[in-house]
Amino acid sequence: MTKERLSGTLAVITGASSGIGAATARALASEGATVVVLARRLDRLTELVAEIESTGGTARAREVDVTDADAVSRVIASIGEEFGRIDILVNNAGFLSNRPAVEASLADWHQMVDVNINGVLNTTHAALPLVTAAVGGARDIADIVTISSVAGRRVPRPESNVYSATKHAVTAFSEAIRRELAEKRVRVGVVEPGVVRSEMTTGDSVGAPDATQGAPLLAEDIADAIVYIVTRPAHAAVNEILIRPSEQTL
């Protein structure tokens, strides 16, 4: 049994109804954090909460579309009323549509900008007062972790066009707020996964793992990286983790 390193903390995870977000919620809860899981599919979140609570954890579900700034603001305000602070914010919700520009749907391009950039901005902006409010307690540090991508560091393939642009944007935004928030004792980090097996890469969005790139990562591999970041001692900030499947070259 792991020693619980996050007892007494409150973690909020967006996009927790599947994949990396759900795995992260399980992992943070197993470290003793109370987790509030956000997404649009409330039925999935409710199942996840029941699973976490059946193993002794504490969890809450909140239905929200991260592209709706007012809705995000209301949900974060309700978290503030119940808990008064957010120790760990994980900006994970994302949408991928990898298609050549000449074939792409403009609606998909806009959806990637709305979820992958505006979703991060809506959530971070609403949560910041509660994140800074977490500093000064027993842990005396707070964390914002955003899931960028290998595609936030480079353009892995031409079809990555807008997805890559959105992930570069959140990597840049994270670096800016890292510099601003360091003196407030809020650590800011990005995790940049290569191909991870999830609904995103097994659906019809042409993000499917390339057979020549070997076995994909699992959602739990990324959850591990997030746990590593938020369990460092208060004097150490891990600002960036790039993690690829061993055989991925892109």
Q: Give the residue numbers annotated as catalytic, written as ranges.
A: 163
Stretch that binds ligand NAP, among 16-24, 98-106, 154-162, 178-186 (CB under 6 A): 16-24
Q: Does 184 help bind ligand NAP (rule: CB under 6 A)? A: no
Give the integer Cα–Cα distance in Å for 191 and 151: 11
Rank residues 96 and 131 by Cβ distance to ligand NAP and give the closer one: 96
Stretch that binds ligand NAP, among 88-96, 122-130, 134-142, 228-236 (CB under 6 A): 88-96
Residue type, 130: L
Identify the residue among 9, 97, 98, 201 touching ligand NAP (CB under 6 A): 201
Q: Does 142 help bind ligand NAP (rule: CB under 6 A)? A: no
Give the integer Cα–Cα distance in Å for 22 and 98: 23
Spatial contact of 10 and 36, defined as CB atoms under 8 Å apart: yes
Spatial contact of 6 and 33, defined as CB atoms under 8 Å apart: yes
Identify the residue among 10, 12, 15, 79 touching ligand NAP (CB under 6 A): 15
Give the integer Cα–Cα distance in Å for 145 and 180: 15
Closest CA to 185 of 234, 240, 129, 238: 234
Residues that bind ligand NAP (CB under 6 A): 14-21, 39-41, 44, 65-67, 92-96, 115, 147, 149, 193, 195-196, 198-201, 219
